[in-house]
Structures are given as C-alpha cells and as structure tokens.
Amino acid sequence: MTDNNDTLRPDPAALLELAARETRGKLTIFLGAAPGVGKTYAMLTRARQRRAEGVEIVIGLVETHGRAETAALLEGLEILPRRAGRQAGRTYDEFDLDAALRRKPAIIIVDELAHSNDADARHPKRYQDIAELLAAGIDVWTALNVQHLESLSDLVARIAGVPVRETVPDIVLQKADEVVLVDLPPSELIARLREGKVYLPENAGRAAEGFFKPANLTALRELALRRTADRVDDQMADIWRQQAVEGPWTTGERLLVCVGPDQLSEKVVRTASRLAVGLNARWIVLSLSGASNPIPPPARAARLEATLHLAERLGAEIRRATVDDFVAEILRIARRENITQIVVGRPRPGLLPRRSLPEALLRAAGDIGVYMVPGQGDAPRNPLRLRRRTLPQWALTLALPFVATGLITVLGLGLSQLVALQNLSMLFLVAVLVSALLGGRFAALLAAGLSFLAYNFFFIDPVRTFTIARPHEVLALAIFVGVAVVTGSLAARLREQMGRARQAVRNTQALYDFSRKLSAAYGLDNVLTATAGHLQTTLGLDTVLLASLDGGELELQVAWPPDQNLDATAMTAARWAHDKREPAGFLTATLPAVPYLFLPIRSEQRLVGVVGLKLNAERGPLTPDEGRQVAAILEQAAIAIDRARLVRDNARIALEKEGEKLQTALLSSLSHDLRTPLASITGAVTTLRQLGDRMNGETRADLLMSIEEETGRLNRFVTNLFDMTRIESGAVKPRRDPVDLLALITNVVERARALDPALVVETSIADAMPPVLADPALLDPVLFNLLDNARKYAGTALPVTIFVRVDNGMATIAVTDQGKGIPPGELEAIFDKFYRRAKGDHRAAGTGLGLSIARGFVEAMGGTLKAESPAMRRRGTRFTIRLPLAEGARS
C-alpha cells in the first residue's frame, strides 16, 4: 500500500540533485535558431551589464565572425590569452582550458558550445571543457544553435539539406541552469545576411541560396521555441518535486497511459500516441502487475511486450511497477510527474458486476483528467477458460479427477465399514488438492464437481441416489463445494507460481553460470566463444556472433555449432541490426525471411557486436521469458566484450609505448656509440692524411692504435645489436659441450686487458675445476661483457675479481668489482634492454645491451645470472653465473 502522505514529501532524488548543483558552477546557454540571430551579441551585452554591477566576468573565447558591432562589445572586458590550436595543417587560436582554471573567475564566457577541439586539447569537444569548468565551481555562459542538438541533427539535415557535423548531447541543454532564447524573425535574419552582418560578403550569397531560406529558418525557429518551452516545463517539474508541490499545473500536457497484457492495450497506445502528437505532449506508458501474480502467462506476457515495444517506437517513455494497489500507484506517479491526463482502456463488462480500474480512477483522480479508450478488448476473465494443452496433458487433466475421486470414494466406503466417520467430505478435499497440484485449475474444478456427486450418491442419505433427505446436509454439501472450489483454485495458483519460481531459479542459475564463464574467459575470442556457447546451451538455438574488430567491416567471429555460414542476405540483416541498432531478420520488419534473428549487443559506451539466433516457423519467435533471458545474457556479454576490448587496446598501447621507448633508447645509443668512435676514426684518418709525412713514428702508431680501438668498439656495438636480435627472435641455438673454464677465462681476461691495459683482474679458480656444460661461443661474450661493465662503472683503480667454484652440483662464476655499487631497486632493471646508469660525469656509458645479452645467453645455456650489491664492505657489485657441470663431472 502507498502512504497517502508520500506524495506530499519532496522527491529525495530531486533534493540530492539540487544539493549537487550548489557545489558546481551554473551553466547559462544562449539558444538560437540559426547563426546570426544575435546570441553572442546578447551574451556580451549582458556581460557588460554584469561587469558594471561589479561582477567578475572574463572572456575565455568569443567568435565575432568579423561583425564590428559584436567586436566593439569586447572593449573593456578582460580577455584570457588563447593557446595555439593545430588542425588539418593550419594553426588558429583555441580556448585555453588550463588558463581558465588557473584564473578561476566568477563567470567566464566560452562561445560556440558545439565546437570540436583540436588534437592537442584535453577533451575532444568544447562542452566537455565547459563541464570541467562547471565542476571547478565556475559559472559559464555559452551559445548554441538548435541544429547542433544531437536529437535534432537528422531532422535539421532533412529540413535544410545540410549535414550537421558538430553536435551536443541533449542532456547538456536539459541540465543547463538557465536557457536564454535569442529569437529573430526569418525576414530580419535574411536582411541581416544581405547586409553582411551574419557572414562575410563572399559567403553570404551561398548561405542565402542554401541554408538561409524562409522555410528552413521558420522550421528551425519552431524547433528552438519548442525546445525552450520543454526546458522551462522540465524546470517547473523539478521545482514541484523539490518543494513537494502536487500537480497538475496546466502549463503543458502530459499523458500517463496505462496498459496491460490484454488486446485493448495496443489500441490504447495508438490512441495515446495520436493524442500526444496533437497536444504536443510528453507521454509515459505504465505497465503494472500485481504483487501476488507478477508474471502473466506466456501468451499474455508476449502481448504485453509487443505493446511496450510499440509504445517505445512511437516515442513514449516506458515504466514498469509491481504493486498491490493499482489506483494508488497510478495516481502517485501521475502527481509526481505532473500528469494532466490518464489514458486507460475501457474493458467489456464482466460476468460479475464489479468496479473497474477506469471507474476507480475517475473517483480518485481529482483534477487529473481520465480518458477512456473504448473497445472490445479481451473477453471477460472466465475462471473456466481452458488453456492450450497437448493431448497427453489433456488426458492427465481429464483422467486425474476421475481417478482421484474414485480412489477417495473407495477409501471412504472401506473406512465407513470399519468406523463411523462423522464427516467424509474432508477426504474428498484431498482429491481436489491432488488434482489441482498435478492437473491445474480445470482439473481441480472437475474434481470438485465429481466429489460433490460421489459424496452425495454414496454417503448422504438416502444413499445410491442424488436426493438429499435432511436439510442440514444441503448446507454441508454447499459449504463443501465452496471450500473445494476455493481450495482447488488456490492450489492451482500455487502450482503455477511454483512453476514460475522454478523457471526464475533456472534463469538465475543460468545467468550465474554465464557470469562465471565470463569471469574465467580471458581475451576477446574466449568471451565471444563463451557467449555463443551459453546462448546455444540455454535456448537450444544455433548461435552466431558478429563484430567489427579494429574498426573494420562486420564479420562473423564465432558460430556455435561451428559449421554455420551466413549468406549475403543474412549478412545484410546483420549489418542492418548493427548500423540501425535494432532487431533484424526472422519475423521482424527488416528481411523477415532470414532464418536468423539478429540482435545488437550494446554496452553503455558503444555497440560491441551482433548476435544471431537461428529460428524457424515451426519453432516460432522467442517467448517473453526467452527474450528476457537473451537480454540479460547480452547485457553481461556486452560488458565482458567491452572489457576485453579495453584490455586488448591497453595492451596494444603499452606495447606501442614500449616500442617507442626502445626506439628512443636505440636512437640515443646510436647517436652516442656510433658518432663518438666514428668521430675519433675520422679525426685520426684526417690527421694521418694531412700530417702523416711530418709525424714521427710514435705519433703515427698512436693514431693507428686509436683507429684500431675505435673500430673494435664499433664492432662490439654492432655485435651486441646482432646478439640481442638473435635472442629476441629465438635464433640462439646453444651447443652443450664441456668447456674448460680456466682456458676460457684466461683468454677473456687477456682480451679485456688489451682493450684497457690499466684494468687489473684477479682470478681464483678452484683446483681440479671440472668442465661445465655450455657453448664457448656464448659464454665468452658473457664474461667479456661483465668485465667491460665493471671497467666502465667501477673504474680501474681497484682490481676486478673472478672467483670460480662448484656449489651444490653447479659451477658458480662470480665477477666482483669494487665500485660504488647498485641501488637495490635497480638490481633487476640493469638487465633490461638499453638500461644505462650514469657515470660520475652523468654521461651514460655504453648501449645498455651488454647485461641484457649476458642474461639472455646464460639462460639459453640453461643457467642463471643475477646481480648482488653491495658485494664487499658496503661497496661493489657481484654478478653470479651458475651453469650445469658436464655429465662426467657431476657427483
């Protein structure tokens, strides 16, 4: 039941919205029918008045379009500097959002609400910039032409023959705190155009021949006036909700249309649609269901869904509610929404006289008008009405009452021979209940009738006749029949509700299972496969899923079972469902002969795909229950597909960023590690060529040595790049041969000392060190890179130690320097490609590939390489290589 005082309380949602507006800026939109009506002029005139009153107001951006009188109004007003915008190869002045947020005035004027920002802007559209200003507590004034409203763009394109490329969501206008209509008759606007006050003379002629025609301007003016009136009407409704003022106020017509699962509802909807068009009224279609029986039978549920879909196509707002008191709920919604007329069907009188819903509304509506749509509608509800049943069901329905009544009669005759029972009628109630639970309402009523006859014939004196001797037996028999009918009806209703409850549980379990499948599905392909498989399992229908990946054409992605293909006609229906975002295919208004019903899969952000369900004439369309199941499954699938796409896009973006990072590091490395040795080589060669004859032998030898060293440096750099390419491509195929570490390390140390004679390397190799299982061609550059790394970062003032021993059946090679060490947070990062630590002069040394190559080679040989720091006395770094011993050396 609805509390009578509830309608006198303010709407909590309206109060919360009002409180939220107090913390944000206020938006004022100057709305016009077309360019040139004077929106910017009116806005600046009002700004000068407010400035004279002492209000802080600045100009964020104003487009004068060369109009001198508009530009003159800017004098004396503070104008924020603009930023340079770039688009389509040209540079222009653009609104600077960050400058406005830093300045944070009381009021800021930002013209051209529908403008699209350049690629460098934070937001793609200017209305999003304005939303950020409002969130920061800044009041914003802006201007908008009515053709830029998103819901009107198609209509304006048909009226004027000019496509509207820049649009603003209608919600922006609906949420505006103030809408100022700037109006001008078409004749005056055309005169201003001819005088050059709208466009420059070279553009005015084309505008007059195209957009600025009297018919176009009149239509746009009507749209602007209507939209402003609607906005005022919405504001009044908000005030009523906030102040708990009961409607209706007759400033505008609003219709509430009540429909149900009967045949008359379709006529009610069509009649209400004509009324709404004629009155230029908004209308709400309300479907109410009783709390005791919220789900109608399938046929009536299907009819109700078709009626609601019809109302939605005709432009109505759909609402549903489950209540006990229909009249109270209808009037509560009517008063809350400022309804002026309630439209309801007038059903045909029933078998029993009772007050109908229209009559109850007429008595309680008060100032709200009630419009009754006449029509035959459904026949009066007859409790004896028979539903469609199959032959086995009919056999059960007819046979069960006879069998149950016969068994109870035999039982009663047997018991009456043994004991004297005062009231055998209670036994026959068992037959009625059993028939109701197993056969339904008709079986219960038939069992009640048979029980009446059997009880009268066998147990009421005189027996074996249908005559009743004593008057009180007549009353008892009448009470028995009444109790049997009521009990049977209640039991049959309980049976129906149990069936619906079981179906609801099955649906809920199916959705739960599907959500678990989606949570375990990783990647877009797995989500699509899980969705198609679940739909096929749940409905028993062949299912296809289509999507457009990476902005391409709509293509078949998943089919279940997999052996399905779509012909050209089916693909046309699928594309229609995708492009128009409405069902297509089987028994729809678009290509109804196609055996697939195509439904769009929509998330809150975008259309993510299309699902096709294979149907046929024998099977028929989806039932309302199946439709609800499909809608719930597709809603979850849309969220999962959207999430999978976002994950994939984020991974691709991360990969692109990583590629850019590596490319930048590689170019930086190339610029240093190629240019420096090339410059040294070039200088030495130039010196030898120009001064070679006048040089002594020692100087010439030094220059040649420098050329040789720098050439070797270049060779090592190119070798490192080649080795890294081999590792990443998987081309490294190491051999597994026994390697003598003593000979290998001795050779590596000699080459390192040849590169830098100041390098001191101390080695400590265990006696009788067994060979390791490795590839000498890979282990050699690993050790050389470790020594070279120690030379670069630890210097040559202190020796580098190489320690080799056997530890837990593995060969351990430790290369330790005595430098400053590595911070703990960088011990793993140093093995990344192109990661370089600065030297003391803050100049990066090397390419940052040596350690990455070393780890890659060691792991390819089946070993490990790790770094430790500090290594000794709070200083130094130790690189430890662990490799398997050769087979014969293992203990």
Question: Does the residue 385 lie in any domain?
Answer: no
Please, are residues 27 and 43 in contact by the beta-carbon 8 Å criterion?
Answer: no
CATH number of the CATH domain containing 597: 3.30.450.40
Q: Of 204, 219, 243, which one is at a domain's C-terminal end?
A: 243
**What region, left, alpha or beta, does residue 848 occupy, with left being phi > 0 and alpha being psi -120 to 50 degrees?**
left
Question: Does the residue 452 lie in any domain?
Answer: yes
Specify whether 107 is located in the same domain as 220: yes
Convert the pLDDT of each residue in 172-185 to its tens digit.
Answer: 887 888 889 888 88
Question: Does the residue 54 lie in any domain?
Answer: yes
Residue with tokens 């026959």: 428
Q: Which domain holds residue 59?
A: 12-243
Distance CA 289, CA 305 (A): 13
Please, are residues 184 and 72 in contact by the beta-carbon 8 Å criterion?
Answer: no
Distance CA 518, CA 490 (A): 41
Specify whether 568 is located in the same domain as 600: yes
Q: Which tokens hold the place of 571?
A: 């693909």
Question: Does the residue 604 lie in any domain?
Answer: yes
The CA-based dihedral angle spanning residues 359, 365, 370, 373, taken in that order and rounded to the nearest 10 degrees: -30
Strands laid side by side in the 369-374 sheet: 317-323, 282-290, 254-259, 341-346, 369-374
Q: Which tokens hold the place of 29?
A: 């939109």
Distance CA 252, CA 250 (A): 5
Q: What are phi and psi of 288, to 5 degrees?
A: -110, 145
Helix boundaries (H) for 521-623: 524-539, 568-580
List of residues 6+ apart from 215 with CB closer than 8 A: none
Distances (CA, A) of 284 to 257, 493, 743: 6, 32, 92
pTM: 0.39
Distance CA 110, CA 450 (A): 84
Distance CA 165, CA 16 (A): 35
Question: Does the residue 688 lie in any domain?
Answer: no
Q: Of 217, 243, 269, which one is at a domain's C-terminal end?
A: 243
Specify whether 603 is located in the same domain as 746: no
Specify whether 199 is located in the same domain as 51: yes
Specify whether 197 is located in the same domain as 59: yes
CATH number of the CATH domain containing 333: 3.40.50.620
Q: Of 477, 496, 515, which one is at a domain's C-terminal end?
A: 496
Question: Does the residue 236 lie in any domain?
Answer: yes
Specify whether 618 is located in the same domain as 558: yes
CATH number of the CATH domain containing 845: 3.30.565.10
Is there a cis peptide before residue 248, judged by omega within 30 degrees of 0?
yes
Specify whether 236 is located in the same domain as 258: no
Please, are residues 821 and 870 in contact by the beta-carbon 8 Å criterion?
Answer: yes
Specify whether 437 is located in the same domain as 311: no
Question: Does the residue 652 lie in any domain?
Answer: no
Question: Does the residue 195 lie in any domain?
Answer: yes
Residue with tokens 């056999």: 395
Specify whether 421 is located in the same domain as 337: no
Distances (CA, A) of 358 to 253, 307, 362, 372: 20, 19, 6, 7
Specify whether 235 is located in the same domain as 286: no
Q: Residue 882's pLDDT is what?
A: 93
Find the distance separating the first CA and the last CA of the chain, reported in whole Å. 87
Distance CA 344, CA 287 (A): 11
- Residue 213 CA from chain centroid, whole number: 42
Specify whether 527 is located in the same domain as 409: no
List of residues 6+ apart from 617 with CB closer than 8 A: none
Distance CA 293, CA 493 (A): 9
Number of compact structural domains in the chain: 5
Please, are residues 330 and 362 in contact by the beta-carbon 8 Å criterion?
Answer: no
CATH number of the CATH domain containing 227: 3.40.50.300
* Kind of pairing between the strands at 341-346 and 369-374: parallel
Q: What are phi and psi of 621, to 5 degrees?
A: -75, 175
Strand, helix or coil for residue 605: coil
Q: Residue 661's pLDDT is what?
A: 63
Which stretches of 63-172 are assigned E, i.e. beta strand?
Answer: 78-79, 83-87, 90-94, 107-110, 139-145
Q: Residue 535's pLDDT is what?
A: 85
Q: Residue 619's pLDDT is what?
A: 79
- Residue 697 CA from chain centroid, whole number: 78
Specify whether 297 is located in the same domain as 422: no
Give every residue of the chain whose pLDDT is below 50, as ranges: 1-7, 204, 249-250, 351-353, 377-388, 839-844, 891
